[in-house]
Structure 1
Amino acid sequence: MICLFSTSLFALPFQDGEKLTFSVKYGIIKAGTATFEAKSSTYQNRPVWRLCINAQTYPFFDVVYKIRDKIESWWDKETLLPHKSSKQLHEGKYQQYRIHYFDQVNKKTTYMKWSYKEEKWKTEEKNLPFETQDIVSSFYELRNRSLKPGDKPKLYVTTDGKSVVTTVKVLRREKVSSIFGDVNCLVLEPDMKSEGIFKGSSKLLIWVTDDAYKIPVKVESSVSIGTFVVQLEDAQNVPYKIKKSN
């Protein structure tokens, strides 16, 4: 079997316990927060990275557009392929709760979708066309790649019951102000082929440090009500010192 993601365990660009905290701004208003976390854990007695993204708006902003999102991945430390992914979204009036269980060896997935109307799970068994990442692990796997402007790396992703090949455009290098000071970044633009943070995004731009760590320092997401700007405001267990707050 050929693994599409043959990444060395010891070359990962993040440390155990890495936690990135972002402010979520709508215009000039600080509307909420988001966190990205990577922790050591186990899944069915196998060592995994438990990757988690949380995003929420502050109560005062909930009347405008309420966000309560939690997306998790149980990512095998040896194969760097997920065993399970979970996605719970509450954005405006929209709600979603979906789970994937992955059998990477036999290229199968059990897909569970919660019906809020019927108050029960709907389960499907699906074939996987390839070894796959999920929506969270794909970003952490991308951080380990060598990237430069003009590159268009492909990600093999399964989410929401669909397996897709997504292209990420590396648009340019750009220096931006961050909590680490002025840092050189790569600007990434992934294809928006799935529902995630945030649902209905027509365009997503991500600024990551232009080095081996590729720490995200800024995200811009265009949604139906406007544009959210997500900026890094705190970082734990990273190889940089915080110099200032945004």
Structure 2
Amino acid sequence: MQNKIKRPLLWSTAIFFMMAFSFPAADHFYAQSMPDNNFDQCSIENTTFKAGEEVVYKLYYNWGFMWVAAGEATFRVKESGNQFHYIVDGRTYKSYDWAFKVRDKIESYVDKTSLLPTRSIRDISEGKYQLYENVTFDQENNSAKYVRGKTKEKTWKENHEVSECIHDLLSAMYFARNINFSTMPKQQSFPVKIFLDREEYPIKVKSNGKVAEKKIKGMGTYNTVELSLSLIAGEVFKEGDEMKIWVSDDDNRVPLMIETPIAVGSVMVVLKSYKGLKYPFTAKVD
């Protein structure tokens, strides 16, 4: 079965693991049906990150033989009472703004016990496209109160029924980091349900097993676990394209790099810097 996202956004194809800001592109992503990994989709103990973690990623485009640095996204984890507060600030570099200017901020509040979201905020500015949305999740009653508009000052309200244990894109990323990929058999997948743009999407990501001594552009060599997400052909992606994702093979399970082919060239998202990790970064080889 193919699960499509109607608006989206080349950069938010990568958001599931790293990026939380994106270009509005007429394309979609999905994951092929595969056996589910056995884990509780409604609650997971956080063993991989802590408040104070800050991770920065750099996005590159490749046309021909040249990689062009286009922008950065900074992921931060804070505490807010009995919740974690995830914050992502994404922007293109000034040298790239002439082509397509991005200034995005995405936030998610999640329950510390279950890591399920209670609130999701997106404040998007991408070229001429603007969006503000604020979603409050009631996980007990499977509902979402939705405030949406072009700006924060011009919004409307809606109520939506949602499935149990629903996520937003950002909460799904941190939830997934607590899944032990290194013990999953090759070709096995894990599912997460995501609410985005007033619809929900079941996403599955496949494990391709361990990859030792993977070179990460500008960051050295790491022991990793490789994951993949199948992509739908269209204006951006070609038939059979897959996004590949490498996460650190240690207790932090930090996303290190994404590579995604597109119709013209390819996209790469790479770890640039990090601080405040919960554990020593033992996946780093040199």
Category of TM-score, reference length = shorter chain: 0.7 to 0.9
In structure 2, relative to structure 1, the CA distance for the partners of 1:83 and 1:154 (3 Å cut) is: same
| Cα distance in structure 2, aligned partners of 1:41 and 1:201 | 39
Q: Counterparts in 2 of 1:1-246, with a 5 A limit?
A: 4-8=41-45, 11-27=46-62, 28-42=67-81, 47-115=82-150, 120-147=154-181, 148=184, 149-174=186-211, 175-178=213-216, 181-190=220-229, 202=237, 204-221=243-260, 226-238=265-277, 239-240=279-280
Alpha-carbon deviations, 1:72-91, whole Å to 9, x = none?
Answer: 10011123211100122233
Structure 1 gap segments, 5+ residues each: 194-199
One-letter amino acid of the structure 2 residue matched with residue 26 of structure 1: Y
- Note the C-alpha offset of 1:37: 1.1
Corresponding residue number in structure 1 for 2:26: none
Q: In the aligned structure 2, how far is the partner of 1:204 from the partner of 1:139?
A: 15
Deviation at 1:104, TM superposition (A): 0.7
Partners of 1:84 and 1:101 within 8 A in 2: yes
* DSSP-derived class of the 2:97 partner: helix
The amino acid across from 1:208 in the alignment is: V
Q: Which has the higher strand share?
A: 1
Q: What's the % identity of the aligned pairs?
A: 28
- Within 2, Cα distance between the matches of 1:201 and 1:79? 36
Q: Residue type of the partner of 1:169? A: K
TM-score w.r.t. length of structure 2 = 0.71
> Residues of 1 paired with 2:107 and 2:230: CA distance?
20
Partner residue of 1:197?
Answer: none
Which of 152-161 and 89-98 deviates more? 89-98
Q: CA deviation at 1:51?
A: 0.7
* Cα shift at 1:156: 1.5
SS in 1 for 2:174: helix
* Structure 2 spans left out of the alignment, 5+ residues: 1-39
CA distance in 2, matches of 1:49, 1:223: 34
Letter in 2 for 1:130: E
Contact 2:43-2:116 within 8 A present in 1 as well: no
Secondary structure of the corresponding residue to residue 188 of structure 1: strand
User: Structure 1 stretch 91-100 or stretch 80-89: which is displaced more?
Assistant: 91-100
Shift of residue 176, structure 1, vs aligned partner:
1.7
How many angstroms does 1:227 deviate by?
A: 3.1
Change in 2 beyond 3 A, CA 1:125/1:191: farther
AA aligned to 1:137 is S
Give the C-alpha shift of residue 181 in structure 1.
3.8
Q: Which amino acid aligns with 2:255?
A: P
Query: CA separation of 1:91/1:115 partners in 2, compared to 1, >3 Å: closer, same or farther?
Result: closer
TM-score under structure 1 length normalisation: 0.81
| Partner Cα separation in structure 1 for residue 158 and residue 202 of structure 2 | 21
- CA shift at 1:152, angstroms? 0.9
- Number of residue equivalences: 229
CA displacement 1:35-60 (0-9 Å, x = unmatched): 11111123xxxx11111222111111
CA distance in 2, matches of 1:231, 1:82: 26
Instruction: Identify if the C-alpha distance between structure 1 residues 231 and 90 changes in structure 2 by more than 3 Å, giving closer, same or farther.
Output: same
Q: What's the secondary structure of 1:150's corresponding residue?
A: coil
Q: Does the Cα contact within 8 Å between 1:167 and 1:191 map onto a contact in 2?
A: no
RMSD of Structure 2 on Structure 1 (CA)? 2.8
